[in-house]
Amino acid sequence: MNLTPATLAAALDSTNLRLDASAADITALCHEAAAHRFACVMIYPASVPHATRVLAGTGIRIGTVIGFPSGRFSTGAKAAEIDAMHAAGAHEVDIVMNYAALRDGDTGAVAAELRALTQRAHGHGQLVKVIVETCYLDADQRLTALRLCEDAGVEFIKTSTGFGSAGAKVDHIAAWAAARRGDIRIKASGGIKTLADARALLAAGAVRLGTSSAAAIVAELNGGAAAAAGGY
């Protein structure tokens, strides 16, 4: 895959969901995102107002997580969080599916929640990504999750929170890419640390990558390009 630093950066959601993240850490994340032109910053809801102030005028999008990390919150609580994040300045919401309900076979409840939350977010003009936590789903459940996300009209299906037992897997991405019925996009997240990780997941069909190593991955590509030109 022929990647330039700019095209790679545009595919990266630069993420800080560390439990000990400070306001200074979020400020640094935002400045880094503006410098590299990442797709968005991905942060906790409480950090969104701060990021909105730091990123004002830069054009960098702000993403946040809803029902994170378990997905086991009421639909009303998730909807209220979406509303509050719109008011605070978030452009994108990564909603954790109630994957426990999916595993228990209650697809009707999962479908109803996804439809309601997607409509709520779209009413605010927000882009929707649904995190399904693939490490806890078998192959059939992962395909069911894809169908539910497609039927709800979300823009992205996303692999992982980063808090589960494993992150993004190339074979899971490839299976989703092959099984898509329409134009839903795929975001890989969890455990993406290197340029090789990024290349493999993009080649499998992901178009967004959520990573806390965004700047390091772009630097790795820049270093490789410089070395190839004899300048590193």
Active-site residue set: 94, 158, 187
Q: Give whole-number Cα distances, 40 to 36, 55, 60, 61, 217, in Å.
A: 10, 11, 6, 5, 15
Alpha carbons 93 and 77: distance in angstroms, whole number: 14
Supply the DSSP string of 192-231, one letter for each residue.
--SHHHHHHHHHHT-SEEEETTHHHHHHHHHHHHHHHTT-
What residue type is 64 in one-letter code?
Answer: T
Separation between Cα atoms, residue 109 and residue 27, nearest integer Å: 38
Rounded CA-CA distance 173/170 in Å is 5
DSSP 190: S
Q: Tokens in use for 142?
A: 């992962």
What residues contact 63, with CB distance under 8 A and at least 6 apart? Answer: 13, 40, 41, 42, 43, 90, 91, 92, 93, 94, 129
Return d(Cα 186, Cα 70) in angstroms, integer: 20
Residue 34, class by beta-carbon neighbours within 10 Å (0-12 exposed, 13-18 middle, 19+ buried)?
Answer: middle
